[in-house]
């Protein structure tokens, strides 16, 4: 089945130690998104890629970066994680085209803990 896969499901890192979260997709979607979801809150969009074009949300901290080396993969890099960055990180994909209004498909998320 075509899907969105996030690895790892659980990630523990130390305060200030860089961490990378991974997302891959077999849907061949041209848009990939990263969301941050804190406990009992709605997902908050950090940024998205439309093909190779990176679109950062205005309030996303500089500590968060992303890479999309090819259509299938997208990475979230947190350069110096703080305690406030502990959250579930969700990757999503969608297809954008003329008149093609497809919904976003989500992975199961990576739960990040900071020690």
Partner 1 sequence: AQSVTQPDIHITVSEGASLELRCNYSYGATPYLFWYVQSPGQGLQLLLKYFSGDTLVQGIKGFEAEFKRSQSSFNLRKPSVHWSDAAEYFCAVGAFRAASKLTFGTGTRLQVTL
Q: Which residues bind partner 1 (CB under 8 A)?
A: 4, 6, 31, 40-43, 45, 48, 50, 55, 90, 92, 94-97, 100-109, 111
Q: Give me the residue label for tokens 């997208």.
A: 74
Nearer to partner 1, 45 or 86 (CB): 45
- Shortest distance, CB of residue 28 to partner 1, whole angstroms? 14
Of 79, 88, 85, nearest in space to 107 by CA: 88
Task: Give the nearest distance from C-beta 16 to partner 1 in angstroms.
Answer: 26
CA distances, 82 to each of 4, 8, 18 (Å): 27, 19, 10
Q: Which two tokens stand for residue 102?
A: 């497809």
Residue with tokens 């041209």: 30
The CB-of-80 to partner 1 minimum distance in angstroms stands at 26
Return the number of the residue (15 or 73) whose C-beta is nearest partner 1.
Answer: 73
């Amino acid at each position: 089945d075509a899907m969105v896969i996030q690895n790892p499901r659980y990630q523990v890192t130390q305060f200030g130690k860089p961490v990378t979260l991974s997302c891959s997709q077999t849907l061949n979607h041209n848009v990939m998104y990263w969301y941050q979801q804190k406990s009992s809150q709605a997902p908050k969009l950090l940024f998205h890629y439309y093909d190779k074009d990176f679109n950062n949300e205005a309030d996303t901290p500089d500590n968060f970066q992303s890479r999309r080396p090819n259509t299938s993969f997208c990475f979230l890099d947190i350069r110096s994680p703080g305690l406030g960055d502990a959250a579930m990180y969700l990757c999503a994909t969608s297809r954008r085209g003329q008149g093609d209004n497809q919904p976003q498909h989500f992975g199961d998320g990576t739960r990040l803990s900071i020690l």
